[in-house]
Amino acid sequence: MAVGNNAAATASDPKQNEVKVIVASSLGTMFEWYDFYLYGLLASYISVQFFSGVNETTAFILALAAFAAGFAVRPFGSIVFGRIGDVVGRKYTFLITMGLMGLSTFAVGFLPSYDSIGIAAPIILVTLRLLQGLAVGGEYGGAATYVAEHAPEGKRGFFTSFIQTTATIGLFAALLLVIGLRSMMGEDAFASWGWRVPFLFSILLLGVSLWIRLQLAESPVFQKMKDEGATSKAPLAESFGRWSNLKFVLIALFGGVAGQAVIGYTGQFYTLFYLERIADVDPATSNILLVIALMIATPSFVFFGWLSDKIGRKKIIMTACVLAALTLFPLFKALTYAANPDFARATRDAPVTIVAIPDQCSLQFDPIGKNTFDKTSCDIAKSYLARNGINYSNIVASANETASVRIGEVIITAPDPSAYDDAQLATEIAKFQRDVGDRLVEAGYPSEADPAKINRPLVIAIIVAIMLMVTAAYAPLAAMLVELFPARIRYTSMSLPYHIGNGWFGGFLPTTAFAIVAATGNIYYGLWYPVLVAGMTAVVGILFLPETFRRKIDD
């Protein structure tokens, strides 16, 4: 359906053309995701470098929030670059997004820390994250549309599934580099300055990516529309100003992408953060276990993409959402036992409870890092447990009762700030924390996971189980979104729901989940977020999402 030289090239050697399109689009996208994922992988180091002016728990949550900031602007990037892609063309649009992404990532490697330039450091960091997010907002729609418009009938799911692997392979590549650098230079050097190397290395990947993308011709579907003068003059108005198209944007978002996003970010990010921050597995071991699981699960992207060409996109995506809603809680409980059996056993045999008056308890999340959580006995108790990642439940105390911590059968009363001056209170808080810490040790709570007791095969198997749901939800998605919208407004229409889903529903998952854990004290409550969103998507998708795998896409 292409015209001119492009048509001749396609007709003369279609197989070579298809391979070139898939390889070029997939590799270029993989490098962009490598850049974007680096921040998430290095969030613990970044929290120390750029948010050192606040307490440790708040610094980590703020680092995750800065990570999420890049996702927050992705829908806006999709609008800007989606319009350019539908008016100017697919190829040139994702050349622009790639350059913006690569340069923003490279700059993080040079950014001075909080200790050097103060508050300017996190401000500049967030600005760079916003630029990265805008660029990613224009990337996925371009690559997915480009590959799908080259794919032969009956193979769009298979062809586009190679793009879906790029997010995971980009994460995989970033993980390998981080693990390699840690092992070569040691943890101290890596924490001091070595974490910057992967960001600086991205400039080489940017050069390779741009060279690869420059080898591509324009999409044959877009070229045909351009030659016939049929491209949209107002893709935003056509996409979102007409109910006939807007309703499918909304169905795609709530009945497809939102569930895929929360499942994806649970599998690829939350599992890693959970291992490190809650199960207390050392970062190097956590990364290695995740890499092995990714190696095992990644080929299933292509399998589920191929399967969606045979049985349909909707069945596979909906099945993944239903399974996620039903299994995430038991899978993460099993992950706790496999990764840190001492912690899991202590939580079961010597549960921790805070007895306090609810009105005296603050939300254990401090976005500006200025709350010392020492104004009430409840805050003193909860802040210590939250800072140490201890799972606890809450019981309402009687009127005027001072808050206390129960560890099994032992009760430790927290100091009442109203009974002491500042110096005495500091001494009493230190004594209370020592008493609680000693009792936790006696009850079997470990300070970190014992490497000799980590059931590595089981941890890997659990992550693979989660990742299979990720691949099932994600593999058919690109083809489904391309098939759902007409060619003249496809880039714009599919990009917005994809990036609202992955940028907002998915991108905010780590921050939201850990804030819920910090606020409630229950290490599993953060999972309510992906479970409820996946359940919502299953309901909306089953009722309203059309099956698309037999549709023509050149109109």
Q: Is there a contact between 485 and 247 (Cβ–Cβ < 8 Å)?
A: no
CA distance 454 to 344: 12
**Do 333 and 379 fall into the same domain?**
no
Residue 346 lies in a domain: no
Strands (E), 263-407: 352-356, 392-396, 404-407
Q: Are residues 417 and 269 in the same domain?
A: no
Q: What is the pLDDT of residues 6-25, one digit of tens each?
A: 433 343 344 446 677 777 77
| CATH number of the domain that residue 38 is part of | 1.20.1250.20
Which residue's structure tokens are 């309901």? Answer: 539
Tell me whether residue 554 is in a domain. no
CA atoms within 13 A on the CB side of 406: 14
Verify that 177 and 56 share a domain, yes or no: yes
The pLDDT, as a whole number, for residue 6 is 43
Q: In sequence order, what DSSP letters do the residues of 255-296 get, joined into one string?
A: IIIHHHHHHHHIIIIIHHHIIIIIS---HHHHHHHHHHHHHH
Q: Considering 442, 464, 485, which residue would you say is the last residue of a domain? A: 442
* Residue 551 domain-assigned (yes or no): no
Question: What span, in angstroms and rounded, lies between the C-alpha atoms of 207 and 213?
Answer: 10
- Tell me, yes or no, whether 77 and 206 share the same domain: yes
Domain that holds residue 223: 4-340+450-544
**Domain for residue 550, yes or no?**
no
Please check whether residues 63 and 42 belong to one and the same domain: yes
Kindly state whether residue 205 falls inside one of the protein's structural domains. Answer: yes
In this structure, are 233 and 380 located in the same domain?
no
Identify whether residues 431 and 459 lie together within a single domain.
Answer: no
Q: How confident is the model at residue 249 (pLDDT cuts 50, 70, 90)?
A: very high
Residues 93 and 227 in one domain: yes
One domain, residues 250 and 221 = yes
Q: For residue 373, is pLDDT > 90?
A: no
Please tell me the predicted confidence (pLDDT) of residue 14: 42
pLDDT over threshold 60, residue 285? yes
Residue with more model confidence, 78 or 213? 78
Decide which of 422, 442, 462 is a domain's last residue: 442
The whole-number pLDDT of residue 230 equals 63
Domain count, the chain: 2
- The residue type found at 513 is A
In this predicted structure, what is the pLDDT of residue 294?
Answer: 87
Q: What is the CATH number of the domain that holds 413?
A: 3.40.30
**8 Å CB contact between 142 and 85:** yes
Residue from 375, 446, 361 nearest 405 by CA: 361
Residue 165 tokens read as 């692997």
Q: Which amino acid is at 489?
A: I
* pLDDT tens string 481-537: 999 998 888 888 888 899 899 888 987 888 788 878 877 888 899 999 999 999 999
Q: Which of 409, 442, 475 is the last residue of a domain?
A: 442
Asked if residue 405 lies in contact with residue 412, where contact means CB atoms within 8 angstroms, the answer is yes
pTM of the prediction?
0.82
Per-residue burial over 313-325, b if 16 or more Cβ lie within 10 Å, else e, is bbbbbbebbbbbb
Asked if residue 287 belongs to a domain, the reply is: yes
Q: What is the pLDDT of residues 476-497, one digit of tens each?
A: 999 999 999 988 888 888 888 9
List, as one string, the DSSP characters of 443-491: TT--SS--GGG--HHHHHHHHHHHHHHHHHHHTTHHHHHHHHS-GGGHH
Span 445-468, pLDDT tens digits: 998 899 999 999 999 999 999 999
List, for residues 62-92, the tens digit of each pLDDT value: 676 776 677 788 888 888 887 777 777 667 7
- Judgement on whether residues 73 and 105 belong to the same structural domain of the protein: yes
Q: Higher pLDDT residue, 541 or 53?
A: 541
Q: Is residue 181 part of a domain?
A: yes
| 395 in the same domain as 366 | yes
Distance CA 289, CA 271 (A): 10
Same domain, 528 and 379: no
